[in-house]
Structure 1
Amino acid sequence: MPHADNLISTLVAAFVLAFAFGMIANRLKLSPLVGYLIAGILVGPYTIGFVADTTLAPQLAEIGVILLMFGVGLHFSPADLMKVRKVAVPGALVQIASATGMGWLLGRFALGMSDVEALLMGFALSVASTVVLMKALEERRQNKGEVGRIAVGWLIVEDLVIVLALVMLPMIVLPAGSVIDPGALGLNVGWTLVKVAAFVAAMLFVGGRVLPWVLVRIAHTRSRELFTLGVLAIALGIAWIAYQLFHSFALGAFLAGLVLNGTPLGHNAAERSLPLRDAFAVLFFVSVGMLFDPTILWREPLAVLGVLAIVLVGKTVAALAITSAFRLDRATSLTVGASLAQVGEFSFILAALGMSLGALTQGTHALILAAALLSISLNPFVFLIMDRLGGNPPGVRQDGEINPATA
């Protein structure tokens, strides 16, 4: 059994290196995600030394995607989103459209990509990381204030768009050389939307009654292990059903978390799933790093600078323009702009889906990963620049609320 230890070797290498480089990143005041990605690069096929199992890692990462989306659903608050809907919903949609357009222009006219590949690259660059955002807001004590609610609501809308895109892209992105029948495509997309709506309705109305009842019965056993196992079984089980129906684990996992979020035991479910979610999220970021070819940084430096400029400058300027149009004060606009100047986990998921569909090349995938790694690393400095421009006190109090006397 020469390969019997592949799983153990992959897990050991991933966790040990992720911990080491995550600590180094944290000491450097960077997001630990940077350390996890670097750990993946070191055990990937593009660097010398130990190479982790490149077939096992993506499967483990898929579990990480499920638990990440489950966590998004568990922490999704429709009430909080409704409070900022007038800014967050149109703002997120316009910002996604503008960043996708910038990515298309760069890819189509500067990098020689096809329309589909350029659009998909721009779409991947348009979405920011909720994990990075929440860490930045917590460090600035703005997660509870109006600024935090707007920024988080904005990203929640982006997350919802991505969940839908993950379901729709396999039907819209066809193999090269395929003849597109607009009528058949429209019918296929329409039917899928009907099935998605029916699945969402079933989860919210039927699952909203059955799952809480199941959790209560499990809680009556007074067994922490059974409760944790039950929460994990619900998340993975519903994600698997969604995959069978729509080829998307993300939709089912998100809906499972959303349903449990509204139950009396939703807080306990979130608490029990957190350690597993964190562990597999680390594996997800490590596996993403394994796919990154670092040589692109010196092979195509102008292309890397181009995609990085879209994330750091283009998205920030677009957010500032949108928030200014909604007459938000200077401090809020600058903070929201800085919050969006990065890309993360959903960009990775979209890029991986694009590669599996044959719509993205390995080089374009590497460009997206380079933009993510560099933008996450530079995001704290973007916040510092925004602070210099007036994004922090005196316009914002330490609790994150806007101070009308000084804003």
Structure 2
Amino acid sequence: MPHHVPLIATICVGFLLAAIFGYFATRLRLSPIVGYLVAGFAVSPYTPGFVADSSLASQLAELGVILLMFGVGLHFTPRDLMRVWNVAVPGAIGQIAVASLFGLGLALWWGWSIAGGLVFGLSLSVASTVVLLRALEDRRELETENGRVAVGWLIVEDLAMVLVLVLLPLLGSIAKGEGTSLADLAASIATTLGAVALFVGLMLVFGRRSVPWLLAQMARTNSRELFTLAVLAIALGIAYGSAVLFGVSFALGAFFAGLVLAESDLSHRAAEGSLPLRDAFAVLFFVSVGMLFDPSILLRRPLDVLAVLAVILFIKSMAAVIIVRALGRGAGMAGMVAASLAQIGEFSFILIGLGVEQGFVPEDARGLVVAGALLSIALNPFMFLLSDRLRRSREEPDQEDAGVPVGPHRPHGDGPVILVGLGRVGMVVAGQLRQAKMPVVGVDQDRLKIEAWRKAGGKGVTASGPLDEMLQDAGVDIARVLVVTVPDELQGGAIVEAARRRRKDLFIVARGHSEDGVEHLRAQGADLVVYAEREVANRMVENILAG
């Protein structure tokens, strides 16, 4: 049997080491992303032992970018995008300009050319798609207004980088005196913008009808495999086709593939079908970044690395805060957007690589950009913590709740029952509570489920943003009972913990699926945990013995 299988080796070793180092990172109270970056460095050319194929790893990581942006598109509608456009467009353009100018200043200080400085500055200006989306998802901010602004900002950056990547070779030819004229440059700009506009128009006019129809036909086969295959074919096919035919990025093509499906009744099912692959290949993105890191740059140019990191973490963040505040938006949005964008990634590597090939910048520029990317990605969670701390320092302090008695709790008051999770179990609970004339507020991540619940006469809240804000929107401060029916015990535990932290006297019911899960939910503060499998078994035995 042949053993030269670089693709299999890259995937297997990448996943194995990412799982190991990710676990140890979480045990050290660090983001698992730090572990994934270390895993990539462990299989890089700069460490002894196995060396993974970096070109294969980067292509596999691109699959993660495509599936992530497809998932984001599924949570957007064209109306959502237009609502944030007035902030995202000037914000992204302004931040790119500020970061590029500071990058240019560093390059001129080091003795590089103006053209090289602009390429270097642009490399520091654009955020990583994967890092930004993972951060928003982890914080449940993706479907909030803040999250939509950040995603719209990212899309504008992607469009700007597509244009830059088209123009860079032409600018190189002009700089070398190879006959390329300004007229050629203008024609390339017009062609690129026209191609992007044509792609967007086709997706919004024809894609909104044909893509949901195609997926509906697959759903009617009642074949789970065919439906999942169709979802992946749509996401990957449109992303690849948009890049080949229209010259846009894979990420932008995938986003519009999801966007045209967002208003379909199958959007939530499509998101679930792509979720496992999306998360797996997103991990490989961080592994591929770790593989690029040459630690010698820290010894040869430590101060220069710190200067690059300062531009990424602080200059970009300050520019974002100033622009968002100048546009009349709140401090919360400004801080969240600033933290989201305080990192760089995949477009930066492509851009600086092309700059090296065209002779605009020296080889050390690539090392500085990669070092800045790796360090900024590792530090990005701390930027969010800093943003949260600064936001809380401006808010009114919460009243002390030390005097509120802790358990045993009972349902009390005349407030609503908050029901988190409108799945199969949750809808049965909701139906019986409504029959009993109890007011119920439904909470779910699926926007379509919430809309259906509201049409049926119920009050509903889409679960997006931080847990505290979600519970506040649902009315936890006046609720008589909180019922958590989500099947994921870790997610359920986080909801229970947030609710208990906010209300010491609240009666909380949760759903468990294992002995460990039941103990976890109780430890987080649940008063009653219904062990679903045990209840089913007990009812079966009761009926057998009664017969």
* TM-score, scaled relative to structure 2: 0.65
Q: Does 1:165 align with 2:161?
A: yes
- The aligned counterpart of 1:315 is 316
- Deviation of residue 327 (structure 1)? 4.2
Q: State which structure, 1 or 2, has the greater radius of gyration over its C-alpha atoms.
A: 2
Q: What residue is the counterpart of 2:127 in the other structure?
A: 128
Q: Residue in 2 aligned with 1:255?
A: 256
In structure 2, the partner of 1:26 is: 26
- Return 352-361 or 237-246, whichever deviates more: 352-361
Secondary structure of the residue aligned to 2:295 is coil
RMSD over aligned Cα atoms: 3.1
The 10-residue stretch of structure 1 (365-374 or 77-86) with the greater mean CA deviation from structure 2: 77-86
Separation in 2, partners of 1:280, 1:309: 29
Work out the CA distance in 2 between the residues paired with 1:357 and 1:262.
44
Q: Does 1:57 align with 2:53?
A: no
Aligned counterparts of 2:471 and 2:85: Cα–Cα separation in 1: 18
**Where does residue 269 of structure 2 map in the other structure?**
268
Greater percentage in helix: 1
1:221–1:142 Cα change, 3 Å: closer
Give the Å deviation of 1:300: 1.0
Superposition map of 1:4-403 within 5 A: 4-107=4-107, 109-129=108-128, 131-133=130-132, 136=135, 149-166=145-162, 168-174=164-170, 175=172, 177=176, 178-250=178-250, 251-348=252-349, 350-351=351-352, 361-391=362-392, 394=395, 398-399=468-469
Alignment: residue pair count: 399
Deviations along 1:146-192, one digit per CA (max 9) or x if unpaired, are: xxx23541342232331452255133433462443100121122123
Deviations 1:375-394 (A, max 9, x none): 22223333444445444573
Alpha carbons of structure 1 residues 385 and 231: separation in structure 2 relative to 1, 3 Å: closer
Give the structure with the larger strand fraction: 2
Q: CA deviation at 1:143?
A: 5.8
Map Cα deviations across residues 194-240 of structure 1 (whole Å, 9 max, x no partner). Answer: 22222222222222211111100100111111111111112222223
CA distance in 2, matches of 1:270, 1:315: 32
Name the CA distance, whole Å, in 1 between partners of 2:470 and 2:349.
Answer: 30
- Tell me if the contact between 1:66 and 1:249 (Cα under 8 Å) persists in the aligned partners: no
Return 5+ residue gaps in structure 2 as ranges. Answer: 398-465, 474-547
* d(CA) in 1 for partners of 2:289, 2:106: 24
Distance 1:228 1:189 in 2: 38
Q: Distance in 2 between matches of 1:391 and 1:131?
A: 27
**Other structure's SS at 1:261 match:** coil
Looking at structure 2, the residues matched to 259 and 141 of structure 1 have their Cα atoms a distance apart, in angstroms, of 22
SS at match of 1:399: helix
2:87 counterpart SS class? helix
Aligned to 2:451: none
User: Higher relative CO (CA 8 A, sep ≥ 6), structure 1 or 2?
Assistant: 1
Which residue identity is paired with 1:50? F
> What code does the residue aligned with 1:240 have?
Y
CA contact (8 A) 2:63 2:281 kept: yes
Structure 1 residues 332 and 287 mapped into 2: Cα distance closer, same or farther (>3 Å)? closer
**Aligned partner of 1:199: which letter?**
F
Three-state SS of the structure 1 residue aligned to 2:269 is helix
Question: 2: distance between equivalents of 1:394 and 1:75?
Answer: 30
